[in-house]
Amino acid sequence: MAIRERLSGNEAISYAIKQVNPDVMPAFPITPSTEIPQYVANYIANGEMDTEFIPVESEHSSMSATIGASAAGARALTATSSCGLALMWEELYVAASNRLPLALCLVNRALSGPININCDHSDSMGARDTGFIQIYAENNQEVYDNFVQAYRISEHKDVRLPIMICQDGFITSHAVENIELLEDDKVKRFVGEYEPENYLLNADQPMAVGPYAVSNYYMETKMAQNTAMRNAKKVILDVGKEYGEVSGRSYGFFEAYRLEDAEYAMVIIGSAAGTAKDAIDELREQGMKVGLLKLRVFRPFPDEEIAEALKNCKTVAIMDRCESFRGQGGPLGAEVKSAVYDYARNVTAFNLVYGLGGRDFTVKEAEQIFKDLESYDQEGKPFAEYRYIGLRGEGYVAMRENPAKKN
């Protein structure tokens, strides 16, 4: 029987780490992820797990040590947030190019400056092109479930890439929710033992990790990473389905909420999906056909699958909790728009920015976005795109206004 508990997101992922019992965890504290190594260290001190915990002097060192442990053949992980991830930047590319299936528990927090400790996705979105698989959670249950699946995905023989398990800082990391945990033995059977094929401590097969690559080899390395990332799509679906058979909770690339007959939809990542769902339920009561596509997997990016899910919608609002400073919107908007352009050109997609630095995103604001989509479609009213939702000060809200719809 499943274990019913009340845990914060940080507690939930720490409990999953305890159940998996990896070999090595180097870590350096940073708000709001500090609790994760703290809980793990307590488990180790209490004899509940035998992971080797390594306190280090910085986040750069924590990822370096995680890379070293993984290269040596250990199942390894670390945790960080915001500027800690930024300090790891060099090493993120090293982990991916060396095809090391290590795990990174990322608690999303705004990057400086100005200094802010609250949630947005600027840290993980900034690392979107490092070669890490990226999986996001809406709530604490998903935080737990995502980590239990993490090594099964990253260690697969067709993948062998590092994986980033993301959750929203303070919103899920510190808020307590009712969740269901699997029994220890079920988790251990599901995850299995790590048996690397190649590793530095294998005396029978000497190898180099991180050698210098001249021009004749560098592109082939990147192509191999690209192939592994594409292979990860099938593995993610297979593991998500198998996890559903064990837990009763299946996972795919995204959740489609009331999207089957939706004319107007929102695409969003993370905890704000719950706010959007409340708005959708309210507007459905009023007769509006609205729905949500909550993206769970951002890397590899499921472009064709997203376009297929949205193809029957008239207009779509893509919500970015991150600013890319390209002058046209955020990273999620750019990638979803590209997918729509390639595979569902009948859908009109707009990009909006919300929640930077922890700014609240309300049900009322979500409802208004859906109504703006309907007004554009039904009445031909211009849609103010690339606006900051909830920004103080009139006149600084819309950075681009799309013309009225031509009927």
Query: Of residues 404 and 224, which shows the higher confidence score?
Result: 224
Please give the DSSP secondary-structure letter assigned to residue 388: B
Q: What sign does the dihedral 82-88-89-92 (CA atoms) show?
A: negative
Distance in angstroms (rounded) separating the CA atoms of residues 403 and 383: 7
Cβ count near 45 (within 10 Å): 10
Q: Nearest to residue 160, comparing CAs of 132, 187, 134?
A: 132
181 and 318 inside one domain: no
359 and 221 inside one domain: no
Whether residue 88 contacts residue 126, with contact meaning beta carbons closer than 8 Å, is answered with: no
In a domain, 63, yes or no: yes
238 and 297 inside one domain: no
In a domain, 210, yes or no: no
176 and 303 inside one domain: no
For residue 128, give the CATH number of its domain: 3.40.50.970
The torsion defined by the Cα of 43, 48, 52 and 58, in degrees rounded to 10, comes to: -10
In a domain, 142, yes or no: yes
Give the mean pLDDT of 265-277: 98
Q: How many domains does the chain have?
A: 2
Q: Identify the domain containing residue 13 by its residue range.
A: 3-192+215-247
For residue 310, give the CATH number of its domain: 3.40.50.920
62, pLDDT greater than 80: yes
Q: What integer pLDDT is reported at residue 266 of this predicted model?
A: 98
399, pLDDT greater than 80: no
Q: What integer pLDDT is reported at residue 121 of this predicted model?
A: 98
Q: Nearest to residue 105, comparing CAs of 54, 144, 60, 67?
A: 144
406, pLDDT greater than 90: no
145 and 51 inside one domain: yes
Q: What integer pLDDT is reported at residue 407 of this predicted model?
A: 56
Beta-strand relationship, 315-320 and 264-269: parallel
Q: What integer pLDDT is reported at residue 211 of this predicted model?
A: 87
Give the pLDDT band (50/70/90) at residue 210: confident
Q: What integer pLDDT is reported at residue 2 of this predicted model?
A: 86
Give the mean pLDDT of 368-389: 95
Q: What integer pLDDT is reported at residue 398 of this predicted model?
A: 59
Give the pLDDT band (50/70/90) at residue 120: very high
Q: Most distant CA pair in the chain: distance in Å?
A: 72
Distance in angstroms (rounded) separating the CA atoms of residues 132 and 102: 10
Q: Nearest to residue 151, comparing CAs of 252, 22, 33, 51?
A: 22
240 and 273 inside one domain: no
Conformation bin of residue 21: beta by default, left when phi > 0, alpha when psi is -120 to 50: left
In a domain, 197, yes or no: no
Angle CA(88)–CA(201)–CA(236) in degrees, nearest 5? 55
Q: What integer pLDDT is reported at residue 195 of this predicted model?
A: 94
332 and 317 inside one domain: yes
In a domain, 300, yes or no: yes
179, pLDDT greater than 90: yes
Query: Of residues 394 and 51, which shows the higher confidence score?
Result: 51
In total, the chain counts a number of residues equal to 407
Query: Of residues 405 and 303, which shows the higher confidence score?
Result: 303
Percentage of the chain exceeding pLDDT 70: 97
Q: Nearest to residue 365, comparing CAs of 350, 351, 355?
A: 355
Distance in angstroms (rounded) separating the CA atoms of residues 108 and 158: 28
Which residues does 134 contact at the CB level (< 8 Å), separation at least 6? 124, 127, 128, 163, 164, 166, 297, 298, 299
233 and 150 inside one domain: yes
Q: What integer pLDDT is reported at residue 395 of this predicted model?
A: 46
Whether residue 87 contacts residue 58, with contact meaning beta carbons closer than 8 Å, is answered with: yes
Give the mean pLDDT of 8-32: 98
Q: What integer pLDDT is reported at residue 397 of this predicted model?
A: 54
In a domain, 199, yes or no: no
* Torsions phi, psi for 70 (to 5 deg): -65, -40
Q: Which two tokens stand for residue 398?
A: 């819309």
36, pLDDT greater than 90: yes
In a domain, 201, yes or no: no
Q: What integer pLDDT is reported at residue 320 of this predicted model?
A: 98
235 and 352 inside one domain: no
Distance in angstroms (rounded) separating the CA atoms of residues 196 and 217: 24
225 and 300 inside one domain: no
105, pLDDT greater than 90: yes
Burial class (CB in 10 A: 0-12, 13-18, 19+), 184: middle
Angle CA(296)–CA(225)–CA(229) in degrees, nearest 5? 25
Beta-strand relationship, 3-8 and 176-181: antiparallel
135-174, pLDDT tens digit by residue? Answer: 999 999 999 999 999 999 999 999 999 999 999 999 999 9
78 and 152 inside one domain: yes
Q: What integer pLDDT is reported at residue 396 of this predicted model?
A: 46
Percentage of the chain exceeding pLDDT 90: 92
- State the amino acid at position 178 in one-letter form: N
Give the mean pLDDT of 315-338: 96
In a domain, 319, yes or no: yes
Angle CA(241)–CA(154)–CA(204) in degrees, nearest 5? 130
243 and 258 inside one domain: no
Sheet hosting strand 348-353, strand order edge to edge: 254-257, 290-295, 264-269, 315-320, 348-353
